[in-house]
Structure 1
Amino acid sequence: KKLKNKLEEQEEQEDTSCEPPAPKKKKKKDRQAADQVNGHIDEEMVTNGNSNGIETPKKKKKKSEGDTEVSAMLAGQIHFLVEISYLEHWIAKRQIAEETAEQREGAFSNFRISPVTISKLKARGVSYLFDIQVKTFNPVYDEEDVIAQARTGTGKTFSFAIPLVEKLQNDSLELTRGRAPKVLVLAPTRELAIQVAKDFKDISKRVAIACFYGGSSYNPQSNINSGSFCSSCLVDAIRNGIDILVGTPGRVKDHIQNHKLDLTKLKHVVLDEVDQMLDMGFAEQVEEILALSYNRVNENNPQTLLFSATCPPWVYEVAKKYMRPGCKHIDLIGKKTQKAATTVEHLAIACHWSQRAAVIGDVIQVYSGSHGRTIVFCETKKEANELSLNASIKQSAQSLHGDIPQKQRELTLKGFRNGSFEVLVATNVAARGLDIPEVDLVVQSAPPKDVESYIHRSGRTGRAGRTGVCICFYQRKEEDQLRYVENKAGITFRRVGVPTANDIIKSSSKDAVRFLDSVPVTAIGYFRESAEKLIEERGAVEALAAALAHISGATNLEQRSLLNSDAGYITMQLVCSQEMHNMGYAWKTIKEQLGEKIENNIYRMTFLKGKTVCTNTNLFYLILENWKDGRRWQLTLATELPELEEKQHNNRGDRGFSNSNRGDRGFRGGRGRNFGRNGGRGNGFRNNSGNNRGGNKRSFNQAFDF
């Protein structure tokens, strides 16, 4: 029995030895810290499971070390999530605070725009309505007559397209076959009509849109997405039914006469570029088209919407015959503010017509480069053709004007939009309404005859918030015309010189480096051996510099005058420590230091603002060798066009082109046949000033009307 009891005791000891060791008791402070990390402190009293709900004291179970670590990790994750949530909230709040007043005012939620249209607008890159769209949405949607004027590139097309599409889609659309159009949009050019039709198509759903324009047959025209419109013929479009009709007046009138286009059911009429639509060229056709829908006695005439960047006073007078009483006038330009786009910098370059093509090539290279887009506007179709083929323009260029077949015009515009070529040389065909993205530079080969043309041409750049540059070339005889544009358009031209050789080299080098970045790595290996050999022969820097010069095409640079762009001349500044009232002092100093031979090769001395004169010469290095600066006179090279003194009509001035015994040297050739010294040879240019000391200040401007 004793032996049996002893064996049982041993078995019990063995059983207890197999159990895991009891966890050590934690100190109270450690336990509370762990509980706080876990986000709570366990209550000392827990329910013991009795149905009567009486709580009895019960010892709290001790947490293992593993449980503590898991709790700490969970607490860290919760803390991290809280921080992320707070950060997201802060970012959202900051974004709301950083929204501009224009963005808040133009938010889609402020207008009666459907979610479907909003998604289509966002697909076009429109995240809010622009100012003109904000001002016109409700009046257009509520069927009020509107005359709206806003600067180029501010979104005028969408300002009438969005509310009209919403109005049509919210009303019950009649999808009957052969239905007459409810909306008519007339545009002055084929290209603008195609673009407006595409804008309507991009933001609409279940709306039949047709585009009628000249230059194409009545049979199938290409699809709208390719730049034209309608895969079925226009006659079929009329038979199937049209909701929105966009077109040019001539072709719309033809369809009315020949194919029974019904415009008696119109509810909305839009004249885009209204100042041109109501001008003499289109006024008669527009009158005949609208006569079908407008009745002076009837108050139920269609809603009339007139839009343009330029609205002269006569437009408002002519428009009264189509507008209902109480029409809405929305003018975001005003009479005293700048009428041209505020995002465009306006520059002017003086240049003789014979040098213009070469200088335009340099201007495009410096201001736009080989990777930018440029539009050059010419006054004639012949000039556009010749300039687009001129070798001075190193970038690929194509022309666009009225004599080019319509199909080719559409392909040209499509290629320019897609970046197939960089320079578009055009007449006024491309001046109005065309929205071509990312045009960096607009060049006008001469000041246009009317201010409206300049405003619309310059508006092809600096669109939708982007910045751009417009450069206008002019001859000295066109200075008054340039000032007229300044006054009427409310802008100030910054007179600049032609790009210097250094400017061209810097721009060409940047383009060459970009071309190198586009070379595939696999192609480099084929030229490695030749490159190593070239480096051994010429050195790394010399070899690379020669390669960059060849790639950029800047191997034959010609120095030009900053004053008038003449090739082979350099502009120099002569600074005097005392104020000069007569250029005779400058001529006298030049003759004393350089001699008469060099003096005869200095031309076009001009007063600058201050105590300075500016002049052209083709003997730059010879002058540097012989000239010595003194306390009163300093001669320097002009690196940019200095600010010229305004032309003043007085009897003080230089020794040039006057009824003077001293006269002036012949222009480009010493004592020439045209302008003789001392009146000895040739017919001296006579000035009516009657002053023997000289003619008018800067009188060369009046002498040479080039």
Structure 2
Amino acid sequence: MAPTRELAIQVQKDFQDISQGLSSVCIYGGTSYYPQERSMRNGLDIVVGTPGRIMDHIEKGNLKLNAVDHVVLDEVDQMLDMGFAPIVEKILSYVYTEGREFPPQTMLFSATCPPWVTTTSRKYMRPDQTEHVDTIGKSTVRTATTVEHLAIRCQYSDRAECIGNVVQMYSGQHGRAMIFTDTKKEANELVVCESLQQQKAQVLHGDIEQRQREITLKAYRDGTVRCLVATNVAARGLDIPEIDLVIQSSPPSDIDSYIHRSGRTGRAGRTGVCVCFYKPREDGMIKKVERVAGIKFKLIGPPQPKDIVKASISDAVASLELVDKKLTTDFLKHAEEVASKHEGGALEALAAALAFMSGAAALKSRSLLNAQENFTTWHLQTQFEIHYSGFVFSAIEKAVGHEIREKIVGMRLTADKMGAVFDLPNDCTAYMEETWEDDASLVLQPAQDLPPLLERPESARSNNRGFSNNRRGGGFNRNGGSNQQRSFGRSAGRNGGFKRRFGDR
């Protein structure tokens, strides 16, 4: 028994590939009973199926299990999650009948071991002859060590386009990506977004007609389809080779789902990447996944234009190498004509063609902190530790003015406390580059990558502007609510770094 149709089909195919002289059938819902019944009338050695259809055939009198020699339950924990536990136990009652001299060999396969699995094993398996095989052991890391776990903080409204950019950067037109959503509705909405349609993405979930599901999954295995948007129907057991990228559109509340989804990549010795998107108020959920799964996310920003261009060029070059050399001769004359007519000449015509081939026609810069469009993340580096964001707000105000300070959002101190990152609208970039002057103690520039950030207390995680006490500049220490005493940094000595630059102006 397997919890999903796709897994049942795969298991039966494996039996066909490795067994000689044994007849097998796969039975599952959404398909006609007649071919399945015909196979049973002809006699069978192996039946693979989902609990619901197996129970149907038992009640119809087509399937008798009192002489079964081997019982295998795959992904037992998922059967429990999907509500199959009562049906599974009822089916097993037809196998483990009273009076059987030799009960069948029973094998339960489960990635996790919830109490129901243990209870079921005790009920139907002989304790003195039961072996428990644990491939994880005492390891606290419950995911494959060949998978790199990345997390991108992103507003819901920006998520679809960012996901498309991540696919283009980490997988592209020649890799294979799988995107997981929590609901069928979300999968349907995501697959039709423009950025994923450029990747020719297809959708897979329980409401898709069975025949279409099989066609989609076969196309994905064969490489005809390179990007699949799916619910957990594709998270368990399916053996799909060479998946380069797994994206989780949000951190699942069930951590086991994260483990199984990420396990679609990094298989058979290959490395893989798993990217988890999360909203600004879901920092706590990311920490929970880290704690329970025993992993550490690398927090990154969304792909920037330079990253997308680099990945797109690699894709385009790989596509050009697939073109038959004999075919290119037929296009040489046309290439000369295009180059002669293009205003920028042959090189610019080639650049335009590469951009069109890659699908990177519209490139947008985004915040590295929350993926918001038309924002630039700035990185301030200091030669001394700073402990409060108020220092950074004041330093920016004294250097470039109050108006710029008012536009700062998302202030975060770096983990080493030797700097901070924050966002400014793109229309401030030219003014900042013209006005700001670095010195020996303070260096400010657009961030190329997101540095490790200082973790915020739980109470401050919902704050996206770096405020405290409902006021800007959370680094101020206030006595009695007045503004008379303010301190920046750890001590007066640290404040000296501030005074050296701004105190005499």
* TM-score scaled by length of structure 1: 0.64
Whether the 8 Å contact between 2:409 and 2:465 is mirrored in structure 1 is no
Task: Give the C-alpha shift of residue 478 in structure 1.
Answer: 1.6
Task: Give the C-alpha shift of residue 615 in structure 1.
Answer: 0.6
Is 1:459 equivalent to 2:274 in the alignment? no
- Write the distance in 1 (CA, Å) between the matches of 2:318 and 2:113: 44
**Over residues 58-83 of structure 1, what are the superposed CA-to-partner deviations in whole Å (9 max), with x where a residue is unaligned?**
xxxxxxxxxxxxxxxxxxxxxxxxxx
- Write the distance in 2 (CA, Å) between the matches of 1:291 and 1:320: 14
Is 1:344 equivalent to 2:136 in the alignment? no
CA distance 1:691–1:540, shift in 2 (3 Å): farther
Is 1:644 equivalent to 2:492 in the alignment? no
Letter in 2 for 1:382: K
Is 1:362 equivalent to 2:172 in the alignment? no
Letter in 1 for 2:211: K
Task: Give the C-alpha shift of residue 529 in structure 1.
Answer: 3.3
Structure 2 counterpart of 1:657: 467
Query: What secondary structure sits across from 1:197 in the alignment?
Result: helix
CA distance 1:298–1:522, shift in 2 (3 Å): closer
Structure 2 counterpart of 1:377: 180
Letter in 2 for 1:582: Y
- Write the distance in 1 (CA, Å) between the matches of 2:108 and 2:434: 66
- Write the distance in 1 (CA, Å) between the matches of 2:480 and 2:309: 48
CA distance 1:578–1:213, shift in 2 (3 Å): same
1:580 to 367, 381, 386: 386
- Write the distance in 2 (CA, Å) between the matches of 1:692 and 1:303: 76
Alignment of 1:179-218 (within 5 A): 186-218=1-33
Is 1:609 equivalent to 2:415 in the alignment? yes
Whether the 8 Å contact between 1:235 and 1:259 is mirrored in structure 2 is no
Is 1:401 equivalent to 2:205 in the alignment? yes
Whether the 8 Å contact between 1:446 and 1:472 is mirrored in structure 2 is yes
Task: Give the C-alpha shift of residue 297 in structure 1.
Answer: 7.3
**Over residues 515-566 of structure 1, what are the superposed CA-to-partner deviations in whole Å (9 max), with x where a residue is unaligned?**
2223333443344334334545523432222221121121210000000000
CA distance 1:332–1:691, shift in 2 (3 Å): farther
**Over residues 320-370 of structure 1, what are the superposed CA-to-partner deviations in whole Å (9 max), with x where a residue is unaligned?**
111112200100102443111222111111111111100000000010011
CA distance 1:645–1:303, shift in 2 (3 Å): same
Alignment of 1:436-455 (within 5 A): 436-455=240-259
Higher Cα radius of gyration: 1
Letter in 2 for 1:591: E
1:276 to 73, 78, 85: 78
- Write the distance in 2 (CA, Å) between the matches of 1:414 and 1:351: 32
Q: How many residues align?
A: 472
CA distance 1:649–1:210, shift in 2 (3 Å): closer
Is 1:303 equivalent to 2:105 in the alignment? yes
- Write the distance in 2 (CA, Å) between the matches of 1:529 and 1:355: 43
Letter in 1 for 2:405: E
Task: Give the C-alpha shift of residue 600 in structure 1.
Answer: 2.0
Structure 2 counterpart of 1:506: 310
Task: Give the C-alpha shift of residue 279 in structure 1.
Answer: 4.7
CA distance 1:258–1:298, shift in 2 (3 Å): closer
Query: What secondary structure sits across from 1:614 in the alignment?
Result: strand
Query: What secondary structure sits across from 1:308 in the alignment?
Result: coil
Whether the 8 Å contact between 1:374 and 1:422 is mirrored in structure 2 is yes
Alignment of 1:168-567 (within 5 A): 186-219=1-34, 233-279=35-81, 281-295=83-97, 300-326=102-128, 327-393=130-196, 394-536=198-340, 537-567=343-373
Structure 1 counterpart of 2:494: none
- Write the distance in 2 (CA, Å) between the matches of 1:413 and 1:534: 40
Task: Give the C-alpha shift of residue 658 in structure 1.
Answer: 3.3
Structure 1 counterpart of 2:502: none
Task: Give the C-alpha shift of residue 655 in structure 1.
Answer: 8.6
CA distance 1:399–1:548, shift in 2 (3 Å): same
Whether the 8 Å contact between 1:659 and 1:692 is mirrored in structure 2 is no
Whether the 8 Å contact between 2:180 and 2:261 is mirrored in structure 1 is yes
Structure 1 counterpart of 2:496: none
CA distance 1:352–1:426, shift in 2 (3 Å): same
Cα RMSD for the two superposed structures: 2.4
Higher mean C-alpha displacement, 542-551 vs 357-366: 542-551
Letter in 2 for 1:640: D
Task: Give the C-alpha shift of residue 612 in structure 1.
Answer: 0.4
Q: In structure 1, list runs of 5 or more residues that go unmatched.
A: 1-185, 220-232, 666-688, 698-706
- Write the distance in 1 (CA, Å) between the matches of 2:71 and 2:459: 57
Is 1:631 equivalent to 2:440 in the alignment? yes
Whether the 8 Å contact between 1:278 and 1:286 is mirrored in structure 2 is no
Query: What secondary structure sits across from 2:323 in the alignment?
Result: coil
Whether the 8 Å contact between 1:498 and 1:560 is mirrored in structure 2 is yes
Letter in 2 for 1:664: R
- Write the distance in 2 (CA, Å) between the matches of 1:516 and 1:285: 54
Task: Give the C-alpha shift of residue 492 in structure 1.
Answer: 1.2
Q: In structure 2, list runs of 5 or more residues that go unmatched.
A: 474-478, 490-505
- Write the distance in 2 (CA, Å) between the matches of 1:404 and 1:392: 22
Structure 1 counterpart of 2:493: none
Higher mean C-alpha displacement, 529-538 vs 423-432: 529-538
CA distance 1:317–1:262, shift in 2 (3 Å): closer
Query: What secondary structure sits across from 1:251 in the alignment?
Result: helix
